[in-house]
Structure 1
Amino acid sequence: MSLYDDAVLVLKGYEGQEELCQSYLDHLAAYPDGMWKACSAGHVTASALVIDPEHDRVLLTLHRKLRMWLQMGGHCEPEDVTLRAAALREATEESGIPGLTPLPGGPVRLDRHPIPSPCNWHFDVQYAVLAPRDAEHVISDESLDVRWFAYDEVADVADDSVVRLLEATRLRLGA
């Protein structure tokens, strides 16, 4: 199964955000290359919110280009076999934390957002992952900083997309 096929299956099985989810499926139907950064009409990305083992903090990255605190994530790569694997790879690369564990179930949220040229849109499929105990993060080349934030601090540093992802993740965790 290709990453494209996995994305279509994941999106068809996703519950919630029906209109937005359909826009993802419509995009992929219109653009067979819609998984890849080269698709200038927009492309699917994969991200993951890193949660600490006690479920009271999240690890955010200060994105080098955007200069915003965000969850870990980015473009799909040819070696990614699933969206979940792409999100886990991105979270591991950007946090430097080995042994991240995806939360059960599919994506936590979807978030489509405009980006500067040469591409129009990111169709982000958002997951959540748990960090192992005593995890130590590092700052990647894509980040200016990486830092843990208590849940109640996130709204003060991050945009609404990250806040919504945290809320949906907390619901998934049963918090």
Structure 2
Amino acid sequence: MSNKTRTLILTLIFSISSAQAVSAETIRGLVTQVHPVYANYTHKTPYQQCYTQQVFVPYNGSSSATPAIAGGIVGGVIGNQFGKGDGKAILTVAGVLLGSSIGSDMGHSGHGYTKNVQRCETRYSESVNTRIRGYNVGVTIPNGNVISTYKETPYNPPPIHSQVDVYITYRVGNY
């Protein structure tokens, strides 16, 4: 007999010997315990929070070239005071360029106005509520054992000392 066949036969023997039957039945019992189970639930409610903010609005459109021209003239005069020969011409040109750039920057700074703008953000307020989430119900069956079960809400638990049917599943076989 090959090893493969031998392994298959042993597996079948062990499977059959350890098999347990599952049985189920309905038993009538007496409700002896009912305990509510509580849980915290968080509820978030959105709301708007608004505030006023000052913003700077620059003027649009073309601006005057006068500050750039004036800066270039002043820069050229100052640059012309320094250097000799070719250096004097280079410093004059550099003074004109630097002066016109500074004049342009000064001409654009601060041109605009401020206005109030309303800004709103969505925020959330939280509230925590404690509610019944379900019930642990204890049922005493005729042999004296107490079977506990849990039921989620919505569920109306049976009153204490009332008779209820309990569905039980159990294994029959070797333990």
TM range (shorter): under 0.3
Which structure carries more strand by proportion?
Answer: 2
Which of 1 and 2 has higher RCO (CA within 8 Å, sep 6+)? 2
TM-score of the pair, normalised by structure 2: 0.18
TM-score of the pair, normalised by structure 1: 0.18
Q: Max radius of gyration: which structure?
A: 2
